[in-house]
Chain A
Amino acid sequence: MTREQRFEAEALPHLRALYATAYRMTRNAHDAEDLVQETCLRAYRAFDRYQPGTNIRAWLFTILHRARTDSFRRSARSPQTVELIGDGPAVAPAQDALARGGEDIVRAMEGLPEVFRTAVVLRDLEDFTYEEIARILEVPIGTVMSRIHRGRALLRAALGTRTT
């Protein structure tokens, strides 16, 4: 089996998950595809450094996150500056929004600053553990916890009045 075949067999099954996360990060199909292509190329180049049998999914997402960070660096824009919660429809209690459909959640997610959105996506959509997310984002676990907390709190605020 050539190196290329091994890579395709191991990495390409994760293409859908990579694309889904790339899409949530970039919020559009075009940038998401660019990001996934870049991620796959980088992963292929670094494939010799990947240890077979270890967590290839987390490894690929680490590369995805780095590629995303680098693309921000190139455009001299920080992901943190993508701010402001989008003006969704009229405020409804958060639990009601959850009870309704996914559209509100999707819209609220898109309104999150990217640092928080990415942390929530990795946890709630890709089901990574805190340790894995810490490795992917290259931050301490405490930071992962606070980002997820903050992300969910912002979602709760966006989805409805915060009940106190």
Chain B
Amino acid sequence: MSAPGCDGPRVTAYVDGALTAEARAEVEAHLATCASCREQEAFERGLREKMRTLPAPPLPSGLEERVSRRLRRRSLPSAVRWLPLAACVALVLVWARGAAPFVAWELMRDHVHCFSKARLPAQVWTSDAREIGEWYRAHGTELPLVPSSAGGLELVGGRFCPLLDRRVAHLYYEGNKRRLSLYMVPGPARFASGFGLRVRGEDVRLLRTGGTTVALVSEDADALDAFQHALSVSVAEAAPVP
């Protein structure tokens, strides 16, 4: 079908006006001598003409509306789009509040906060464990048996801390320039028995005594040992004899 010099793709490009002037002249010269290529040219021109008259497939009704709707869904304010993620993060945080490291962290911060004040923010001042127990009982909180002193530190006073999502009894101990906080955390807390953590130079220990959680915070490990021992003795003594 092709004679020498026939170049079908070039004829196609010629029909489409996609050739340079020079190439166009060459193709025209060839077309003048080649019937086969003239037929190709005629067919392609006719095809293009005919294609223009073909009806376009009808646009499905409502397509434009559906497209717009999807775009709107995409373009919600970013705050709204992040909402599900934010909700998940919030859930995790709420869950984490009962978890040991989170509890330990908050107690450490509170301990440092209280003892960094010129005057301790106590609500009750006493060095008598029995007396402070009564004060808390009068305010609706049953304390476990706490020591009046241990490891050279003595009870100074106490208050309620609005810690976590609960009211936490916070007892202050001081002695020999050392400081210790004893927290009674009501409600459930998730930690392995005897959880300990050292944060920013403060040791935090979470202990379960009876049904409640007692936390000890101090920068002095010896004081913590002494209090841990004193608590275990007093709790054992208070336990009903089997």
Contact = CB atoms under 8 A, between A and B. Distances in A.
A33 B54 contact: no
Interface string A37-49: 1001100110000
B80 interface: no
B18 interface: yes
A152 B36 contact: no
A153 interface: yes
Contacts, number: 106
Given A105-B47, A152-B12, A152-B47, A36 B39 contact: no
Contact of A145 (B13, B43, B53, B64): B13
B45 to A, nearest CB: 10
Interface stretch (B68-76, B146-154, B157-165, B225-233): B68-76
A152 B60 contact: no
Interface residues on A, range: 35 or more
* Residue of A24, A125, A141, A149 most packed against chain B (CB within 10 A): A149
B106 interface: no
Contacts of B63: 15, 19, 33, 36
Given A102-B53, A105-B51, A156 B43 contact: yes
Interface string A100-126: 001001100000000000001001110
Interface in B29-76: 36, 39-40, 42-44, 46-57, 59-60, 63-64, 66-68, 70-72, 74-75
Contacts of A2: 75
A146 B10 CA distance: 9
Contacts of B74: 41, 44-45
A95 B1 contact: no
A16 interface: yes
A29 B56 CA distance: 12
Interface string A1-43: 0111001100010011001100110000100110011001100
A60 interface: no
A65 B60 CA distance: 20
* Residue of B10, B49, B56, B57 most packed against chain A (CB within 10 A): B57
B18 A129 contact: yes
Closest 8 interchain pairs by CB?
Answer: A149-B12, A164-B1, A23-B57, A149-B9, A124-B51, A130-B18, A20-B56, A98-B46
Given A15-B64, A156-B40, 10 more contacts: A8-B68, A33-B66, A94-B43, A95-B43, A102-B55, A124-B48, A125-B54, A152-B12, A152-B44, A153-B8
10 contacts: A12-B68, A16-B56, A19-B57, A24-B57, A44-B74, A95-B46, A130-B13, A141-B18, A145-B10, A153-B8
